[in-house]
Amino acid sequence: MTKEEVVLAIRKLKKAVNTLKEGLKKAKTQLEKDGVIQRFEYTFELFWKTLKIILKYYGIDCTTPRSCIKEGFKTGLIENEEKYLDMLEDRNLTSHIYNEKQVKQIFGRIKKYYIKLFLKFLENIEEQDL
């Protein structure tokens, strides 16, 4: 893994986090909230794949979102392993979600917790010497 690959992955993740944040600010209708959930899905995918790339750059291999989150916690790249694992569970639910109550709950967690976790991760990796 090269430094350029790491920088590119981080750049893509920052863009996705920014679009998620923008969507959260504007979402009022159910359609807009559905769009935020879609943005959350791809932001989460970019998050764990960026984490995987950074860990590989440091010589640590992980192959699944769960294993990358656990390794990220061990290395200090992420601070709250449990919340990131909750985020993973919600990400897995969003692919097959048809219950309006569940949609509202996940949207609420994205707005209250998950956007902050993404931003904290970006802050943590900016402090690294990559």
| pLDDT one-digit tens code per residue, 20-69 | 999 999 999 988 999 999 999 999 999 999 999 999 999 999 999 999 99
Stated pTM of the model: 0.93
CA-wise closest residue to 77 among 115, 122, 46, 18: 122
Residue 2 has phi, psi (to 5 degrees) of -95, 160
pLDDT reported for residue 96: 77
Residue 48 CA neighbour count, 13 Å, CB half: 20
Q: How confident is the model at residue 78 (pLDDT cuts 50, 70, 90)?
A: very high
Q: Where are the domains of the chain?
A: 3-126
- Return d(Cα 30, Cα 3) in angstroms, integer: 41
Q: In whole angstroms, how far apart are CA 29 and each of 19, 24, 34, 39, 44?
A: 17, 11, 9, 15, 22
Is pLDDT larger for residue 6 or for residue 93? 6
CATH number, domain 3-126, options 3.40.50.920, 3.90.1150.10, 1.10.3720.10, 1.20.120.330: 1.20.120.330
- Quick check: 117 and 83 in contact, CB under 8 A? yes
CA-wise closest residue to 72 among 1, 7, 122: 122
Q: Can you say how many angstroms the Cα of residue 104 is from the centroid of all Cα atoms in its chain?
A: 19
Q: Which residues contact 101 (CB under 8 A, 6 or more apart)?
A: none
Mean pLDDT of the region 94-123: 91
Q: Which residues contact 66 (CB under 8 A, 6 or more apart)?
A: 85, 88
pLDDT reported for residue 110: 97
